[in-house]
């Protein structure tokens, strides 16, 4: 084992997060945590400052229907992704010929020569 590999391995044989992540990765993590904290603070302000507003029943019903519709669309699209992946629709196209037949060549395959 070379020296850099020995430095990143611990006694259990796994590398630690601080050894694997560089300065750029830690910067991204810190920025994302700061954005999460800021959005939580804004949500808290919106929740507390709007405490006197009354929401009609139609608002709750429309919000629930919007959430259910979004979940159905999300689950449906993810299901289609998995179905497509597992049934081979995402594989590259392959030209299949039967025995004894030659594949028809396009002008690109024949380098522009006419037959």
Question: Which pair of structure tokens corresponds to residue 34?
Answer: 């700061």
Q: Determine contact, residues 75/69, Cβ cutoff 8 Å.
A: no
Residue 79, strand partner residues: none
From residue 81, alpha-carbon distances to 1, 24, 27, 52 in Å are: 41, 32, 32, 44
Query: pLDDT tens digits for 41-96?
Result: 999 998 888 777 788 999 999 999 999 999 999 999 999 999 988 887 777 777 77
Give the pLDDT band of residue 16 (cuts 50, 70, 90). Answer: low
């Amino acid at each position: 084992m070379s020296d850099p590999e020995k430095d990143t391995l611990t006694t259990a044989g796994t590398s630690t997060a601080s050894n694997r992540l560089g300065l750029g990765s830690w910067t991204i993590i810190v920025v994302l945590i700061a954005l999460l904290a800021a959005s939580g603070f804004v949500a808290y302000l919106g929740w507390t400052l709007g405490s006197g507003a009354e929401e009609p029943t139609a608002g709750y019903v429309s919000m629930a229907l919007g959430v259910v519709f979004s979940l159905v669309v999300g689950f449906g699209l993810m299901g289609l992704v998995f179905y497509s992946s597992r049934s081979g629709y995402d594989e590259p196209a392959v030209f299949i010929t039967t025995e004894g037949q030659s594949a028809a060549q396009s002008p690109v395959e024949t380098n522009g020569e006419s037959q």
